[in-house]
Each structure stands twice: as structure tokens, then as C-alpha cells.
Structure 1
């Protein structure tokens, strides 16, 4: 099988750089090369670059996509991931740059070895969950590149970690904690306890049909983690708290429901260049200290809500839809929080 080199070069432009174009044929296969600049007016240097290009193309025709991958580095995979659509989460962008610093120049064909090198050099002090986040991200970067070049999927063994935290309060602790918040945070905590939204879903809630609809008694969350908007009925305690706010502000039909201590809307941390942080963490810690509640984070309000839904006999599918989880697997952890609510169901059997 004879290969024919048909690349040629010519000088062009004010800089008189050499431009390369043509095609390479191998048997019944060929690849066309659109004219591009070698970036140099030196004939010998341009000829060297043209020869490299010819070699690259012959390997591509002979070995297919693997030839391209054999020359790629981890940086190529990182770049492919960062330039994909939709754009990655900003925290993942930061993680990619950390990996780039440590293993960016490693060959992509040795991605598994690169991962172990990065883990040994950088991740030994990280919790298993944090290590696994890097693992899944590196795997995603490689697979974006592989998919683009029609290469088989790449998989790294997951790092086991406990992601089954379940924390809920008694009714007495719940009410005592809510009352311990400062005035402007107390309504937010009430919503956490009785509706279970994610923090920014609650903080970015607006008045009216597009959010807290006081006429219909519903809450609409347009922007969610899963990308699926949802509407839920207001719990009576939430409706009572929101109605007081609504009336105090003259019955508004727009604007944010919850305001910070400066009477301004809370920053939507999802839109920050580097996402993260919770605007009410400080107020939450102070309230927990006042109420004598230990080991309870802001996000644990979501665990609390889901756990009490289970104990109230609400089925997991309904909890999944009310809470905006993407799959039933995400709420199955709550199924075992308490079995007393199942007694009535069992006794129905005849």
C-alpha cells in the first residue's frame, strides 16, 4: 500500500511566511489539508514542519483516531472539557486547573497512571468524597476528548465514600432552632423546615406567579439543580410566614421574597465566577448555638424535611418530586429513617 505525499508550500502575505496545503493518500484513503501558515519565512523550518505534518497524517490514515490520541497530553483532554457545551461549573474549572498544574503534560494514553500520580502528589490529605470528585472530573475530561476522536470510553474505579448522611431534628428542636434565628432569616428557616428547597432555590424566590403566589398558595422554583422547574403547594406554616411578609410590604407582585440584613436580595452564588459559599451560614451557626443544636448544617434542613416526609407516610416518588431530586435513588436513603409510619400500612393487609 503506497502512500503519496502531496503537501506543498508557498510564500504568502506581507510577512512572506510559508503556507502549507495539499493532501496525503494511503491506498484508497486520503485526507485534505486546507492551506495554513507555517508561521515562519524560513524555508528549511517550514519544510521540517511540513514533514511533521505529513508523518502525522500518514499515521492518522494508518492507525485512525488512536494515532491522534498517542500524541495528545492530559492538557488536550482538559482543554476539550473546558470548551465543551454547556460550559462546566466554575468549581470544576478550578479543579481542572489544579490537575493541569500537576499532570497536564502527561501523555493521554497513560491517563490512568496520571490519575494515580495526581492522587499520590496532591490528594492524600483530602477526604474520600473530595478525591472521588477529582476522579470523576478527570474521567469526564478524558471521555470528552475520547468522544470527540471516536475512541472507547475511559473509566476509573470510583473511590468509595459515605454519602448517606441523614440528619433530622425532633419537632421541639426544629421549632426552637427556627425561633433562634435572627428576624430576617427566620422565614427562610421556616421554608427550609417545611418545604425542603435547596438554599438558592429559596433565596432567589420572587413574589407572584413566577415564585411565591399568595393567591394560589403555591411556590414555583424556576431554576433548580436538575434543570427541571417545579411548583409545590405551600405548607400552612410557610404560607402564614410569607403572608406576613407580603402584607408588610404592601402585597408586592414582584421582587425578591427574602432580603438580607441590609434589606437587599441575597447574592445568587450560582452566578459567581467561583461558585460556593452559603450566604446564611453565619446566621445558621449562631442560631444553632443559641438553640443548643449540634452537628446540623444549613443543608441538613433538606435532610430533616425529607426524613419527616417519610415518617409522615409520604411515598418516596412524591418526596422526590416535591424536593426536586432527579432520581428515586437520591431519596431512597430516607426510607429507613423510621419504620413506625409503616405499621398502619402493614395492618391494612387482610
Structure 2
């Protein structure tokens, strides 16, 4: 039965399901024919589910909505951006029809304009959603196996202090402040954009990241140096809750279009917002900060992550490098002596 509610432009439908339940739902359309088709389809699906034991068929959008509603990730905004990219490929597709072949078309498209690492981030999200649909929601019988591309181990990307100053000069004031704070603390983008005043103690010159905000799920205490303190003092009075804002609102994504345009004007290539953290670590190592101290400052749980920066400060190896120069005989031998023929005893 189709009907319209007062003050509603959409048709509604009502019917009794095979188990006796009354179904009453909006068709979300003002086209009566389409509304009837939707009602008939819904009724047929319920018959298959109740009488034949068939699972309800969910589409990609259903999974996206459930994922967003249930997610507690600090990087949820990144997921939303990737969901928008995936929409033309997966919109309207039943979850059980998203096969490895479908994902391969997405990988091919992504590789046309991005690195294997970026493609892996997108496929990792697809994999996570489909596995949840299989193992937790019970929406599909089996999630497809999705391959992971091999990523090149590229060198650490960091910039000099002169380049950092040049970049800040090209950025809007709110982003420049966030860059300076990132370079002073090494905090990740989400920790800077979500930083609240109740996480800062200016008297003790520290701030802290809660376990649910940290990548390693462990609380991090951050000592604030003079540069960080100066940036924070400039933000006082701008917002009651958040430290960094723009026009009275928290900044959801720092590395957006304004960031990219500033990089172009500053003539800095291949530099992501996350590379500010690499830059902070590189400056520390070059200034002589021990790697074990850097690990604690940066909140890394794995020491191997810190070893990536060790090559930037080889000075501590000088003593060992000189040992062979001091002990080897040829270190004190003149060049003309080396050229003389050697006389062997008969």
C-alpha cells in the first residue's frame, strides 16, 4: 500500500512481512511508480530472507555509512576523502560483487597519478571494510583477497631551516603556525589539528597526547621548547577548546589545497605534511640528539623507525673510523715509498 504523509512530498509504503511484521518506510521519491517498484523489491527481499534463509544484500554505501558511524579512528577524515575517491568505482555495487578484479581496476586508476604507497592506502581501506562486513557484520560470506603493491624504500624527505622559513612565508597564518608547532614538536597532523587546550600545561611547558590519539595507542608526553611555546601563546583567546583554528572552526585537514599551493610558490617539491615530522627528526639527529631519546620524544614503539634517521649524523662513528688510520702502517707511508720495488729475500 502506498500513501503520503502530511507535509511530505515523498511516497511511503506499508506491507506485512512473511513473519507478520508490519513494514512502514519512506520510498524517498515523489514518483509513484518508482515508489511501488521499491516497495515490491523490499517485499521480495524479505521473503527471500525469511522463507528461504537468504542473506540481505548490502551495497557499498551501506558499508561506508556503518564504517563511519562505528569508527573511532583519529584519521577518519582521511577515510572520508578516500571514500569520495572510491564512489565512482563502487557506488551501488553489492558487497559480494566487489571482487579482486574490481579492485584491480581501482589500483590501475590510482597508479596513473599516485605512488604504490598511496594505492596501498586505498586498497587497505577497501580490505578493512570488506573484512568487517564478513567477520563482524555478517553481510558477506567471504572478503576477497586484495594484493598489496611493493613500495619503494625511498630516502627520508626533509627540508632545511631556510626552506621551512620560505614555506611559512607563503602559508596562511593559521597553517604557518601549525607548521612551526609541528617542526618544534614532531607531532603528527591529526595530533596538531585536534590539539585541545586541556592537553597543554604552559607552566610546566608540556603537552600530552592521549592513548586513543596516538598511533602506538600509548600516551605521549611532549616537552614544549621555546618555539612551540611562542606559537601556542599566539593562539590564546582564539578558541575555547581547540588550539589551532581557522575562522573560529577547528582545522580538519592541514595538508590541503592551501598547503600545496604554498609549496609551489616556495619551490619545494615532493613534500607532504607528514614530512614535517621527518624534518623534525632529521634536525634533532643532526643536532646530536641520541636516537633512544628521539624515540621517546617521537612516541615510536619500534626502534627501527628511529634508525631511519641515523645516517644523518655519522659523527659519533668518527672515532672508530680513525682507528685504522692511526694503526695502519700505510697511513704514515710516503707515496714515493709505495712506488719503490720490493726486494724479496732469496
From 284, 291, 299, the counterpart of 1:315? 291
From 279, 299, 324, the counterpart of 1:304? 279
Q: Does 1:217 align with 2:205?
A: yes
Equivalent in the alignment of 1:341: 316
Alignment of 1:91-240 (within 5 A): 91-111=78-98, 112-120=100-108, 124-146=112-134, 147-149=136-138, 151=141, 154-162=144-152, 164-168=154-158, 173-174=160-161, 176-177=162-163, 182=169, 192-198=182-188, 201=191, 210-211=199-200, 213=202, 215-220=203-208, 224=213, 226=215, 230-235=220-225, 238=227
CA contact (8 A) 2:183 2:280 kept: yes
Equivalent in the alignment of 2:328: none
Task: Give the TM-score taking structure 2 as reference length.
Answer: 0.59
Q: Give unmatched runs, 5+ long, in structure 1.
A: 1-9, 24-32, 61-66, 258-263
Aligned residues: 296
Q: Secondary structure at the match of 2:70?
A: coil
Q: Does 1:36 align with 2:23?
A: yes
CA contact (8 A) 1:80 1:144 kept: no
CA contact (8 A) 2:255 2:272 kept: no
Q: Secondary structure at the match of 1:68?
A: coil
Are residues 212 and 155 of structure 1, via their aligned partners in 2, closer, same or farther at CA, if it must alter by over 3 Å? Answer: farther
Equivalent in the alignment of 1:19: 15
Are residues 284 and 270 of structure 1, via their aligned partners in 2, closer, same or farther at CA, if it must alter by over 3 Å? Answer: farther
Are residues 107 and 280 of structure 1, via their aligned partners in 2, closer, same or farther at CA, if it must alter by over 3 Å? Answer: closer
- Deviation, 1:82, is 3.5
Q: Secondary structure at the match of 1:232?
A: strand
- Deviation, 1:18, is 5.3
| In structure 2, C-alpha distance between the alignment counterparts of 1:177 and 1:22, rounded to whole Å | 69
- Deviation, 1:72, is 3.9
Q: Does 1:56 align with 2:49?
A: yes
CA contact (8 A) 2:199 2:208 kept: yes
Greater share of helix: 2
Equivalent in the alignment of 1:267: 246
| In structure 2, C-alpha distance between the alignment counterparts of 1:270 and 1:163, rounded to whole Å | 38
Q: Secondary structure at the match of 1:148?
A: coil
Q: Give unmatched runs, 5+ long, in structure 2.
A: 6-10, 28-35, 323-346
Q: Does 1:277 align with 2:266?
A: no
Q: Secondary structure at the match of 1:158?
A: coil
Are residues 229 and 57 of structure 1, via their aligned partners in 2, closer, same or farther at CA, if it must alter by over 3 Å? Answer: same
Note the alpha carbon deviations across 1:294-325, whole angstroms, 9 max, x for none.
76666434213323444535234x43331244
| In structure 2, C-alpha distance between the alignment counterparts of 1:313 and 1:47, rounded to whole Å | 69
| In structure 1, C-alpha distance between the alignment counterparts of 2:51 and 2:245, rounded to whole Å | 58
